[in-house]
Amino acid sequence: MTHTAARTAKLALIGDRSPNVASHTRVPLLLDALAERDRLVLDAYWIPSQDAADDDAVRGFDAVWVLPGSPYLSEAGVLSAIRAAREEGIPFLGTCGGFQHALLEYARAVCGLTRAAHAENDPDADDFLIEPLACSLVGHEAVVRIEPGSLAQSVIGSERTVERYFCAYGPTRHLDTLGAHGLRFSGHDEDGHVRVAELPGHPFFLATLFQPELSGDGSRPHPVVRALARAAVEHAARKAVTRA
C-alpha cells in the first residue's frame, strides 16, 4: 500500500442486487481491493433498477456502474440511469447487461431508433438490437482484440486480452447507425463481433460485454474497474474545485 492520502468518490451501482449473481457478490471484494491497493475509496450505493427511473437517481454521484443481472426489473430505470450518466458527463461503466443496455439507450435516445428492443426484455418486438448470441458465452473465456488509440486500449494497456463472460445476448443490428452517430466499437472477438463500446468526448464512458469484475479472485481489480474508480475520484475532485 502507498502512503498517499486516499481519494474518495461516490459510486452508483445499478442493478437488482442478488446473492445469486456472481458479479454482485464480487463487488465488495473489489471495493476493498481498490481502497487497499490503489487508495481509491468508493462510497458505493446500490440502486435497484426500479428506483433508477427517478430523474435524480444518479445525480450527485461520481460514477455509475450498470452491473449484470438482466433481465432487470425495470428496463426503463436502467436506461434512465445510463442516459443521465451519458448526458451529464458522469463516468460510466456497463458490463454484460450494462453493455447491452448502454447500446439500447444510445440507439433510442441518440440515433432515433425508438423501436429498437432487447429480445430478453421484449421477445415479441419487431426491431431487435440485442438478440441471443449464436453461441452462448455463459461461462466462457475468449480473446478480445482492442482498437489502437481507444479508451479501452489505454485502460487495458494491450491490443489483445482474454476475458470472462457470462452472457447469452449481444448486439446484432444497427451497429453502423450507432457508429455513424458517434459511438465507437473499440473491442471485437476473433470473429469480428462487438465486445467493447465507448463514447469519445465523454470523460469516461465504457461498456463491455465481458465481465471485468469476475477477473481473478477479486483481490487485484481488473484495469477496467480500476479505471472507473480513477475516473470517479477525478470527477469528485473536479466537483470540489467547482464548489470552492
In whole angstroms, give the CA distance from residue 113 to residue 131: 16
Question: How many helices (H) and strands (E) are present in the chain, helices listed first?
Answer: 6, 12
User: What is the DSSP code string of 4-57?
Assistant: SPPEEEEEEEES---TT-HHHHHHHHHHHHHHHHH-EEEEEEEE-TTGGGSTTS
Side by side, the strands of the sheet bearing 194-198 are: 40-47, 7-14, 63-66, 92-95, 205-208, 194-198, 184-188, 141-146, 160-164
Residue 97 lies in a domain: yes
Q: Which domain holds residue 88?
A: 7-243
Q: Is residue 92 part of a domain?
A: yes
Please indicate, yes or no, if residue 199 is contained in any of the structural domains.
Answer: yes
Q: What is the pLDDT of residue 242?
A: 76
Checking if the pLDDT of 3 tops 50, the result is: no
Q: Tens of pLDDT along 93-128?
A: 999 999 999 999 999 999 999 999 999 999 999 999
This prediction has a pTM of 0.95
Which CATH number covers residue 182? Answer: 3.40.50.880
2 within some domain: no
Once rounded to an integer, what is the mean pLDDT over residues 55-62?
A: 95
